[in-house]
A and B are shown apart, each in its own frame.
Chain A
Amino acid sequence: MSTHSLEDRFQSRVDNEEKIEPRDWMPDAYRKTLVRQISQHAHSEIVGMLPEGNWITRAPSLKRKLALLAKIQDEAGHGLYLYSAAETLGVSRDEMLDQLHTGKAKYSSIFNYPTLTWADIGAIGWLVDGAAIMNQVPLCRASYGPYARAMVRVCKEESFHQRQGYDILLTMCQGSEEQKEMVQDAVNRWWWPSLMMFGPNDDASPNSAQSLKWKIKRFSNDELRQKFVDATVPQAEILGIQLPDPLLQYNEARGHYDFGPIDWEEFFQVVAGNGPCNKERLAARVKAHEEGAWVREAATAYAEKQKNKVVSSASVA
């Protein structure tokens, strides 16, 4: 069958909402797009452990400490499912890690911002996980089967994290003036980077149309960003805090909230490596990997010895 007709058949399967599975024929560009997107997503989960991990030893109560540990552990788990999903496309976890460590692969640039106070842990749960959920729920219907299935599990846990984050902020907002100020300050710093998580505006996002056609994406960046703003504003009102955007207001005619322009210069600078913590985040990942090398080598050597023992005892028998 010619490539052309293979592509036609592939597209018609996608159009019919059939799942594409690892052994099915797929266009190279589809495979590459998925590998890039899924591995970036996996790396984001792993790098995302760092800013939150910054507060494990300082969590304010045992209940919060346990919830934070469990949350970060969930993120490591998401990284695992996603690396596994990407592996079904013919790329190994080692290769993906190598791309992360050498700076070839990206991760969500939100994790290049610092967590300065405890309220940041709440704000990450509420805003960052909230934005992630908006992005990720439609991915549960992505055309590539292993990705879609991984995302179903990820989304269940993410929505739990978002509620936890919101609960941290709600508790603080019902507390002292200092606690409320801490929440307001954290939201001031995390609001705009959270809006940037949806990626560039649609007219500046050249790959989006193809991803929509392949049903990897279901909504455009701007559509998702709008949904997020619409869902989040009422939640901010319950907290009794101000979102840091003087242009934010409900537009009756559109039935949506209008919001101010995003500072894309900041976004592209952070993506390019110039954010507040890019170097620290990558250095922490590289250090963990390098310092773990002897452990991985020893584990392999031990497993090899055990295998040989089994073989030699089998040959004696």
Chain B
Amino acid sequence: MQKEIKDFILMLADNPMILGQRLGEWCGHGPILEQDIALTNIALDIIGEARNYYAYLAEIEGKKEDDYPMLRKERAFRNVLLVETPNGNWGDTMMRQFMFDCWHYFHLEAMTKSNDERLASIAKKSIKEASYHLSFSSEWVIRLGDGTPDSHEKMQDAVEHLLPYFEEFFIAADFEVYSQQEGISPDLHVVKNKAMAKFRNVLDEATLAHPQNVFAKKGGKSGIHTEHLGFIISELQYLQRAYPGVTW
């Protein structure tokens, strides 16, 4: 398998992996018990999805699935910057989730038609969950945006702060250009149009203003991350690094 395609699969895996790691930080600390459960459910779904991609790569490369999340260094991660951003308050987490879900759902939808049958089958399985995640985060963005003046302000702050990270999903990395030529990854313009339409509709319904003149923050796909990633993987990899080569 070409390096570009492996990088593409790593991106598919690292995005939900790192976001799932962030969501795991909420477990036991949510604002409402039911929502604590729901967010943990999303973490379970997306880490489970990441695991399917890692397992696929592991089969191809003769490695173990845990080698990818647990034993790679910072610069080898291919996830976008958005998923590394700190949880902030519940509104920040919901806005980040909503942006992720907009990309995730429509990207998976396109991936169900990938030439790579294994990836297409993971997409078919994951899209059912992603559809639920997208309605959950959309509802929360609307509820909080159109809730109280205080919650509205917090959500407006969240969208201003996070929107610069949203664009990166739709800026094709070299490995995506290559994978698209092979019919493995989708045309990001099409994904972007659908995702942005959903994004704008929900923002309108949430009575939130669309930030203007946003300058995209990017670099994650090529391994240039935020300062947060080092800390995220320090925790993620702690035991595998401290006790190399043992089974848990």
Please give the distance in Å from B36's CB to the nearest CB on chain A: 5
22 contacting pairs across A/B (C-beta < 8 A)? A56-B27, A60-B70, A61-B248, A62-B66, A65-B24, A66-B51, A69-B40, A69-B44, A76-B33, A80-B34, A171-B248, A175-B247, A179-B243, A284-B28, A289-B31, A292-B90, A295-B144, A296-B32, A297-B147, A298-B151, A301-B148, A302-B147
Given contacts A176-B246, A297-B147, contact A118 B44 (CB under 8 A): no
A302 close to B89 (CB less than 8 A): no
Please give the distance in Å from B233's CB to the nearest CB on chain A: 10
Please give the distance in Å from B52's CB to the nearest CB on chain A: 10
B248 close to A73 (CB less than 8 A): no
A292 close to B236 (CB less than 8 A): no
- Chain A residue nearest to B41 (CB atoms) is A73
Given contacts A62-B54, A72-B27, contact A294 B33 (CB under 8 A): no
Contact-residue size bin, chain B (C-beta under 8 Å from the other chain): 35 or more
The answer, yes or no, to whether B61 is at the interface (CB within 8 Å) is no
A298 close to B144 (CB less than 8 A): yes
B239 close to A58 (CB less than 8 A): yes
Interface residue count for A (Cβ, 8 Å)?
A: 49
The answer, yes or no, to whether B146 is at the interface (CB within 8 Å) is yes
A276 to B105, CA, bound (A): 45
Binds B, one of A45-53, A185-193, A197-205: A45-53
B143 close to A298 (CB less than 8 A): yes
* Chain B 58-76 interface residues, beta-carbon cutoff 8 Å to A: 65-66, 69-70
Please give the distance in Å from A116's CB to the nearest CB on chain B: 13
| B29 partner, pick from A79, A80, A288, beta carbons under 8 A | A288
A297 close to B24 (CB less than 8 A): no
A302 to B144, CA, bound (A): 8
B66 close to A69 (CB less than 8 A): no
- Show the binding face of B for A, using Cβ within 8 Å: 21, 24-25, 27-37, 40-41, 43-44, 47-48, 50-51, 54, 65-66, 69-70, 89-91, 142-144, 146-148, 150-151, 154, 232, 235-236, 238-240, 243, 246-248
- Chain A residue nearest to B35 (CB atoms) is A295
B90 close to A295 (CB less than 8 A): yes
Residues of chain B lying within 8 A (CB to CB) of residue A272? none
Residues of chain A lying within 8 A (CB to CB) of residue B91? 295
A73 close to B243 (CB less than 8 A): no
Please give the distance in Å from A98's CB to the nearest CB on chain B: 15
- Chain B residue nearest to A172 (CB atoms) is B248
Residues of chain B lying within 8 A (CB to CB) of residue A72? 27-28, 40
Given contacts A80-B34, A295-B91, contact A284 B29 (CB under 8 A): yes
Contact with B along A267-307 (1 / 0, CB 8 A): 00000000000000000100111011111111101100100
- Chain B residue nearest to A64 (CB atoms) is B248
